[in-house]
Amino acid sequence: MNKLDTIDYIVFFVYFIIVSGYGIWIYRRKTGHDGTVEGDSKDYFLAEGSLTWWAIGSSLIASNISAEQFVGMSGSGFKMGLAIATYEWMAAITLIVVAVFFIPVYLKNRIFTMPQFLSQRYNGTVAMIMAIFWLALYIVVNLTSILYLGAIAISSIAGLNLEFCLYALAAFAVLITLGGMKVIGFTDVIQVFFLILGGLATTYLALNLVAEHYGQSGVINGFNLMTAQAGDHFQMIFKKENPNYIDLPGLTVLLGGMWIVNLNYWGCNQYITQRALGADLPTARAGILFAAFLKLLMPVIVVLPGIAAYVLYNADVFGPAEFGSGTNLNPDRAYPVLLNILPVGLKGLSFAALTAAVVASLAGKANSIATIFTLDVYKKVINPNASEKTLVNVGKIAVVVAMMMGVLIAPHLGIDKKGGFQYIQEYTGFVSPGIFAMFILGFFWKKTTSTAALFATIGGFLLSVMFKFLPLYADLSFLSPLGFAVKNAEGVYEIPFLDRMGFVFLISVAAMVVISLYETNRGVKTNGLEVDRSMFKTTRSFAIGSMVIMVILTTLYTVYW
């Protein structure tokens, strides 16, 4: 039944009061609103020096996990199985790489925003182009998809009006975001607690439902029955014959484009790196390592329920009434369907977990939008002499305006028809390879020039578009034996999305090297960053933690290869 019981509402409002109350307390005690002087703009946008490692790690996960994971990734679990967990598990390795090699460069060079890095490393033109681009991407793609998918999920579970859910989520997120990064960072700890607790409760019930259907009980028996009834859903690496190969093309998830997806997202993304940029290096690294451990847990919360729903669907426990049938089968219904059969009280907890994931992501995204607009557009172009108080106020206005824009345009983008996870991947994937090439060479090769960076930004996008539509004009069947082309439903060979990203990245890097060598040989000067080997040394505890993660991931991929 698509509604909440009174007890469910009580559980949800307890969550709301705890998060809001704690946020207000943090705002008053840690941002100077208890009678002391108000902090400056970096304090507001970055919580400079005040976030602990556990707050940084929790905030990274809370900002990352949202409706597209709960709904979209559970749906992918229903459709293709455990293989979709590669997005989460490869992220754990990526976070270690970011902590060791990326964060030290940012902190050593006092870089607080991604456009600032581009301005400092290249020039103001590159920085301003990318600042405008990121603002558009964050609002039109990310903010809208999080808002709309979250509203759809909450509406389908609680039986509330979709428009009401859209505005309520936006209002709750604004309440958290206006307190600045300190409030977001510390309230995210509570958000992650509810997210994990409610998520695990849903997984427990889903696995237990599978066990009970086959006359057994307990999550262990449920899991064993799932592996027996849906063995094809417990394979991490797809062969070319698998119908889902085009989404996750074999070893590319370990050796190819998946690295670009994750390194660009976790290492070159204001939305994410902002959490660590206000801390010292040991604290930032510890927080990122904590996030990597939490990443290992995420597939248990967002993928296993989808597989359980698939098993129950095949066993006729669920049917067309819940999922549709034939060409109208909708895997993204998996998580909402499971939540709707939860017992009273537990449904309220899981509802709070989903809301926590959506609100935390919205708050983080809105704060990043405000940071880029205020520090990289308003301060540099509109009002260079703005006071700290003015910058903070402009940031707060930017939060409200961005959220209002998201609410107004989200219903008109067809996000629900495209699928939230695919919607975000498709549009960010056109620019990720070029941006990552620009960042990685900018970090570690001092000869990289501004012209080369501009080529990666614009040329990388054009190359992505070309590879997308190339199959319409050229026969790519010769790439099929190598696994780089797959025949689609129309009989046309197309390049899998992740392989396209890999090709564009390699071409962008090669072109940047040629352009940079040509220009530097002609006397063009570059602005290299301060980088030395000592920056990349880690503590013993960090190294041990990283090794533990590597061993766990090696075991998982070996068992479920």
Question: CATH number for the domain including 277?
Answer: 1.20.1730.10
Do 112 and 139 fall within a single domain? yes
Report if residue 101 sits inside a domain: yes
Do 232 and 264 fall within a single domain? yes
d(CA 433, CA 446): 20
What six digits make up the tokens of 505? 């990245």
Q: For residue range 158-200, what is the model confidence (pLDDT) as tens digits?
A: 777 888 888 888 888 887 777 666 666 667 777 777 778 878 8
d(CA 144, CA 165): 13
Cβ contacts of residue 474 below 8 Å, gap of 6+?
Answer: none
Do 438 and 549 fall within a single domain? no
Do 488 and 548 fall within a single domain? no
Q: Do residues 510 and 463 touch, judged by C-beta distance below 8 A?
A: no
Do 352 and 274 fall within a single domain? yes
pLDDT confidence bin for 40, thresholds 50/70/90: low
Do 386 and 480 fall within a single domain? no
Structurally, the chain folds into a number of domains equal to: 2
Do 239 and 276 fall within a single domain? yes
Do 385 and 496 fall within a single domain? no
Q: For residue range 112-130, what is the model confidence (pLDDT) as tens digits?
A: 778 888 888 888 888 888 8
pLDDT of residue 38 exceeding 50? no
Cβ contacts of residue 435 below 8 Å, gap of 6+?
Answer: 130, 264, 268, 456, 457, 460
Select from 463, 42, 64 the least CA-distant residue to 288: 64
Q: Taking residues 364-391, what's their average pLDDT?
A: 83
Do 60 and 172 fall within a single domain? yes
Mean pLDDT of all residues in the chain?
81
Do 348 and 208 fall within a single domain? yes
Do 503 and 444 fall within a single domain? yes
CA of 400: how far to CAs of 70, 139, 375, 404, 408, in Å?
Answer: 26, 12, 17, 6, 12
Length of the chain: 561
The answer to which of 70-79, 214-223, 233-242, 325-334 has the lowest mean pLDDT is 325-334
Report if residue 1 sits inside a domain: no
Do 197 and 248 fall within a single domain? yes
Q: Taking residues 507-525, what's their average pLDDT?
A: 91
d(CA 342, CA 393): 43
The full DSSP string for 471-530 is GGTS--GGGGGGTS-EE-TTS-EE--HHHHHHHHHHHHHHHHHHHHHHHHHTT-------
Triad 22, 28, 31: Cα angle to 5°: 110
- Residue 50 is predicted with a pLDDT of 61
pLDDT of residue 74 exceeding 50? yes
- Residue 35 is predicted with a pLDDT of 40
The answer to which of 165-174, 268-277, 397-406 has the lowest mean pLDDT is 268-277
E-strand spans in 437-525? 486-487, 493-494
Q: For residue range 429-453, what is the model confidence (pLDDT) as tens digits?
A: 788 898 899 989 988 888 999 999 9
pLDDT confidence bin for 487, thresholds 50/70/90: confident
Question: Range of 452's domain?
Answer: 430-529
Report if residue 116 sits inside a domain: yes
**Burial class of residue 388 in the structure, from the number of CB atoms within 10 Å of its CB (0-12 exposed, 13-18 middle, 19+ buried):** middle
Q: Do residues 103 and 285 touch, judged by C-beta distance below 8 A?
A: yes
